[in-house]
Chains A and B, each alone.
Chain A
Amino acid sequence: MSRLNPPVTAQDFAIGPDTAVCTLLEYGDYQCPYCGQAYPIVKRLRKQFSADLRFVFRNFPLGEMHPNAEHAAESALFAGKHGRFWEMHDLLYENQRSLGDDDLLGLAGSLQLDVERLRADLGAGTFESAVKADFRSGVHSGVNGTPTFFINGQRHDAGFDLEALSHAIQATL
């Protein structure tokens, strides 16, 4: 059975209490339509389980398939550096049909982030190694497509519809 490796650390982007009984972790790609389907489901799960659930997101851009996924992931990390990761994360999924570089800069601008700084960071690949580190951790954890979810470190193979995820989370409480 595939297990999360390395486990969640302070470097990860997490939302929800650190003390939550259940940690749901997603390896996702901002340009992947299936991850787009999972996005509102995760929101509902967070509402449903509130204090019992912590959600963590790691990047797994499938660059050969989704040409904008890498820069989208880097933009999320850029926003994260400036304390706006989850707002950018939401915007990326809510606009996942238009994720060209100009769109990414526009989204950053709408969060009052420094657009020129993002342009320079995308050009220089400032966040490339951080995205790669996420990707590599996914590969070693047994990520088998996007999205792949882990529940308390165990890969969840039962589908990512609301019912399947909710059932699996409930089982940890």
Chain B
Amino acid sequence: MLTAGIKAPEFSLPVTPDQKLSLSELLGQPVILAFYPADWSPVCGDQMALYNEILPEFRKYHAELIGISVDGVWCHQAFASARKLHFPLAADFEPKGGTARSYGVYRQAEGVCERALFVISSAGVITWSFRSPVAVNPGADGILQALENLPK
């Protein structure tokens, strides 16, 4: 897994059926990447739904949050609409897990992303990363601490 001090690898991934999002167009502000195994975890406060509720806290640091999994755009679209998500979900679908691999957070055996978090400075450098056991939703305390520690 890539760690603090490393330049964040560029990616360009679909976020809707006809729209792509790349890291380079987000820079200039801090970026949070939240890799997660799959849409549709069967609980109330799943990780993406939780971050959705916490968005105002992230926005205090002008940070952009992107969720990334290997699910396709149509799946993401249905999931985002069911959970009323107000941030983009990127589809690391083709080549499958390509972006997750470049960040060192792909689980080859299961074919899904790890549950891993990256905070990237506005200059494009990883300042914090964290991998959680797949079954444990890491919450947001680490992200907020990392945003707090960004150079002002």
Contacts and interface: CB of A to CB of B under 8 A. Distances in A.
Interface stretch (B4-12, B18-26, B139-147): B139-147
Contacts of B137: 144-145
Contacts of A148: 45, 139
Given A141-B141, A142-B138, 16 more contacts: A5-B141, A62-B44, A62-B45, A62-B50, A63-B53, A64-B53, A64-B84, A65-B49, A65-B83, A140-B144, A143-B50, A144-B138, A145-B45, A145-B47, A145-B137, A155-B139
Contacts of A2: 139, 141
Given A33-B44, A34-B43, A144-B136, A62 B141 contact: no
Interface in B92-129: none
Interface of B: 43-47, 49-50, 52-54, 57, 83-84, 136-142, 144
A2 B142 CA distance: 8
Contact of B136 (A65, A135, A139, A157): A157
Nearest to A35: B44
Contacts of A136: 57
Contacts of A122: none
A145 B54 CA distance: 11
Nearest to B141: A142
Given A33-B44, A64-B52, A139 B57 contact: yes
B49 A62 contact: yes
Nearest to B145: A140
Nearest to B46: A145
18 contacts: A2-B141, A29-B44, A62-B44, A62-B45, A62-B49, A62-B53, A65-B45, A65-B53, A135-B53, A139-B141, A139-B144, A140-B141, A140-B144, A144-B50, A145-B46, A145-B50, A148-B45, A157-B136
A144 B49 contact: no
A2 B49 CA distance: 19
